[in-house]
Amino acid sequence: MTNDYTKGHRKRLRTRLILDGGQSLLDYEILEHILYSAYSRIDVKPIAKRLMSDFGSLNKIFNAGLVALQDVEGVNDAAISAIFCVKQVFVRCAREEIKSLPIINNWQKLIDYLKISIGNINHENLRVIYMNKKYRLIAEDLQNIGTVDQTPLYIREIIKRALVIGSTSIVISHNHPSGDIQPSGHDIALTKQLAEACQSIGIELIDHIIITFNNYFSFKKNHLL
């Protein structure tokens, strides 16, 4: 594949993107455009198609972990950086939607944010959302990264953090990579312990949300809080 062909192809793809905002581009062509920053001289179409074939969708590509991406032939660190950067754009745009709002009155925006940020990650992640008296976000922590089916919940660390930053209410959330939103006995027991610890010092545990990319389970709605 000559450099002239590569330049011509990139120019044609760029023109299509500009003309209609990318609506006419196929998924792998969108991915090609993102990968251009990582490969200045080669045709990235085979790499884009290989990524689509291995993961099955753009959503799974942008939620893939480092090791999974490294296993794809032709994918280098620069390509992985580009993919991770795009994922962070999604996450931060969604986070902006909840940043200045009373979260308790904008529940769907919080759910949407959690779906984008951790809903499709292939290892369990625990997020803690800390809020002030007006239920506005003041901090968010990724407390720990777990295995494919379990993540630690350190109650003392959550309480300590809330006291340090002056948080009066929290929401915790973790993802289930299996896609099953039902809580385990371990999830239920730890949530009860956290709720009791919060109550003892005047902090409100609003909810524990188990999240996947397209669904969620609320402990509060299901009367487990």
**Which of the four pLDDT bands, split at 50, 70 and 90, describes residue 174?**
very high
- Given a contact cutoff of 8 angstroms between Cβ atoms, the answer to whether 98 and 113 are in contact is yes
CATH topology for 100-218 is Cytidine Deaminase; domain 2 (3.40.140)
The pLDDT of residue 4 is 59
**Which of the four pLDDT bands, split at 50, 70 and 90, describes residue 206?**
very high
- Given a contact cutoff of 8 angstroms between Cβ atoms, the answer to whether 53 and 73 are in contact is no
End-to-end CA distance of the chain: 61
The number of beta carbons lying within 10 Å of the beta carbon of residue 28 is 19
pLDDT tens for 5-63 read 566 888 888 888 888 888 888 899 999 999 988 887 788 899 999 999 999 999 889 98
Look over the chain and give the mean of its residue pLDDT values, rounded to a whole number. Answer: 88
Tell me the C-alpha to C-alpha distance, in Å, between residue 63 and each of 49, 51, 88, 175, 190: 17, 12, 10, 13, 27
The pLDDT of residue 152 is 60
pLDDT tens for 126-153 read 899 999 999 999 999 886 565 544 556 7
**Which of the four pLDDT bands, split at 50, 70 and 90, describes residue 1?**
very low
Sorted by where each begins, the domain ranges of the chain are: 3-90, 100-218
Amino acid at 195: A
> Cα–Cα distance between 207 and 188 in angstroms, integer?
12
Tokens for 163, please give them: 């006291």
